[in-house]
Amino acid sequence: MLEGILIGLQTALSLQNLLVVIGGCLIGTFIGMLPGLGPMSIIAIMIPVAITMGDPSAALILLAGVYYGAIFGGSTSSILLNAPGVAGTVASSFDGYPMARQGKAGKALTIAAIASFAGGTIGAILLMIFAPMLSSVALLFHSAEYFSLMVVGLSAIAAFAGPGQVTKAVMMTVLGLIMATVGEGALFNMPRFTAGIMDLQSGFGFITLAMAMFALPEAVFLVLKPKNLGQDGGEIKDLRITRAEARAIAPVIGRQSIQGFFIGVLPGAGATIASFLGYAVERNIAPKAEQAEFGKGSIKGLAAPETANNAACTGSFVPLLTLGIPGSGTTAILLGALIALNVTPGPRLMVDDPQIFWAVIMSMFIGNLVLLILNLPLIPYIAKLLAIPRNFLIPFILFFTLMGAYIGQNNATELLMLVGFGICGIALKFANFPLPPLLIGFILGGMLEDNFSRSMQLYGGVSFILERPMTLGLLIVAAGLIVLPAVRTRFGK
Amino acid sequence: MALDRWIALVLLGICIVYGYAAWFLMDADLAPFMRRNPIWPSTFPKVLSILGIGASLVILLGLEKGEEKIGDIDHRRLGDYFLGQALFLLGLMVVYALCLRPLGFVFSTSAFLIIGSFILGERKWHVMVPVALIATGAVWYLVQEVLGIFLRPLPIFVMGV
């Protein structure tokens, strides 16, 4: 392994490759900030550039830089504007945006940068150690386990079920699940609830819904009741994290790096589940006083999903590099790039092309480090976005909200749907219905139904719950995560 | 009746319509081989409709104990806020959606940004116009030229596509 690390370092630390990773990180960060352009789109766009570079190692280093940059960029729009452009950063807005509203935008971005760095770096260490071993474990996960994993992910809604809000949170989750059933499902191959409207054939767009439920209501509330985001109790450029805060988030980062990585290893699970699950777990194990802070600007609530989604992104490289199986959309695009570069990922990659295997892993370390070094000095300037006068800032937020939905689908009907859903989102917000559960239900709904249906077909009924111990175990964990907070509240512990 | 109960009533209606479609309409066109499956396309929606109806009834009938919380904005006193500006901006978004294709990206977006600022009370035209034009041009160049995602820059009667 040591020899491999040295080969990888030698390749990744050459001047050309260092410049490539810096360029990749910058491109990824800035384009990733645009809602609607997630890592997958940006990597797809950068593939022709990578291929023309000729050298597979340099090309992969560029793409890794773009990947990590895009993830961080996505978190930025999520935290500053409450406009999560990709599903993996939705959970970051739960506490990141409230922090920005409290005038702690700089601190929130710093925590996001550090948590992302730690998640990515610890994930890369775990990848080095466990990659060959985990590739076989990942294959033990079948649809039944995935179904139960989605149920565990849904338990994140408990964080929004405060006193008197449990039914509203459940209602919003069910509504999200209902919306996920609209369109042509992957398994049944028949349109459902489309009312013959062609634009609904592929279902509702995630970005449209995310913008309508998060960014648009917030922007309208800022219009209704003007609020200077830059002067609401803190110095937005202030990056400092106190020692007590560092001590509070350190164990969260440690736990979520490991948990996120192992979830990322499972093909199909990925950063979204990891971030929701990370959020749910940290909220449930937090002391009661801190639990109430979740959703209102908790630093733990921000650090958990940020760490978990980065660690999961690294974990998703395990099935890609060791089995040639893309575990997520982004790694599927990377697989295409590898094949175009005449590199065949799989069990032989480490033996046949060790310099590529190790260069990719080393580029993860360097990419994360470069990203941290580049972004920390930029954070004060990025955070200053919120100090732009309201008369200019709000039209821009609304414009980027519209663009996010439009770029994703290239369909003007999507914009009308965005406004329609946005008005519904505003009404729900007025009535204190928690909106994150709706989006959690919508994101997980399709995967939940597909995996449940597959398991039912394989086992001819629900017997798989009892026949597969891992499924049963995960469902018990999910039940615990949902019931535990209520029990703790009831008994005042 | 409180706003959350009105919303629960609307959601109840949605869930009933959804449930009706799932229970009584969806299975009619199901292919015979699919009828032998333990799970049908309507199975999950059927479960969801029951859950949805149950949850909306609990909210509607006020069965869950809890005090009515007023958020950042009290919807009962909307007149105290900048309601007109918010409504105009939402209307502007609809107009933008309708004009984006026929009038092209450059004109629609510049107009959206300028009118948006105007609605919010901005009157510094020497700042509004250049900012809107530069931002529109920069976003168009990035999306169309750098990222290769088609955004028709000019009106349909000029470009003809």
How many residue contacts between A and B have a Cβ separation below 8 Å? 176
Pick from A216, A168, A220: nearest CA to A433: A168
> Whole-model pTM?
0.81
Structure tokens at B76: 């009962």
DSSP H or E segment with residue A149:
helix A143-154
Chain A, 201 to 260: residues with Cβ < 8 Å from chain B are 220-221, 223-226
**Cβ contacts of A406 within 8 Å, gap of 6 or more:** A36, A412, A414, A415, B100
Give the residue on B whose Cα is nearest the Cα of A43: B147
B141 near A CB under 8 A: no
Question: Which one of B4, B34, B51 has the shortest CB-CB distance to A433?
Answer: B4
Query: Tens digits of per-residue pLDDT, A45-101?
Result: 787 788 777 778 888 888 888 888 888 888 888 888 888 767 788 889 999 999 988
**Torsional sign, CA A247, A251, A252, A253:** positive
Q: Choose the closest CB to B90 out of A163, A410, A423.
A: A423
DSSP state of A192: E
In the predicted structure, residue B104 carries a pLDDT above the cut 60: yes
- CB-based contact, B133 to chain A, within 8 Å: no
Number of residues assigned to chain B: 161
Nearest-CA residue of chain A relative to B30?
Answer: A190
pLDDT value of residue A205: 86
- What SS3 state is found at A183? strand
Split at pLDDT 50, 70, 90, the class of B105 is very high
- Asked if A432 lies within 8 A of B73 by C-beta distance, the reply is no
A residues 400-439 near B, CB within 8 Å?
A: 402-403, 406-407, 410, 412, 415-416, 418-419, 422-423, 427-433
Q: What is the pLDDT of residue A235?
A: 62
Q: What is the mean pLDDT of chain B?
A: 89
Question: Does B79 reach chain A within 8 Å, measured CB to CB?
Answer: no
Q: What is the pLDDT of residue A173?
A: 92
**CB crowding A214-246: b at 16 or more within 10 Å, else e:** bbbbbbbbbbbeeeebbeeebbbbbbebeeeee
Q: Do B52 and A171 touch (CB under 8 A)?
A: yes
CB-closest option in A175, A226, A419 to B11: A175
**What residue segments make up the domains of chain A, in order of their start?**
2-141+206-410
Q: What is the pLDDT of residues A428-459, one digit of tens each?
A: 989 889 888 898 889 888 888 988 999 998 88
Residue from A166, A189, A392 whose CB has the most chain B CBs within 10 Å, to mutate: A392
pLDDT category, B6, cuts 50, 70, 90?
Answer: very high
User: Of A167, A224, A399, which is closest to B58 when you measure between CB atoms?
Assistant: A167
Which among B43, B55, B112 has CB closest to A170?
Answer: B55
Which stretches of chain A score pLDDT less than 70? 1, 35-37, 85, 132, 134-139, 158-159, 186, 227-237, 267-269, 327, 347, 408, 485-486, 488-493
Residue A283 token pair: 């909220």
Tell me the chain A residues in contact with residue B43 when contact means C-beta distances shorter than 8 Å: 453
The three-state secondary structure class of A278 is helix
B58 contact A CB<8A? yes
CB atoms < 10 A from the CB of B93, how many?
A: 23
pLDDT at site A228:
60
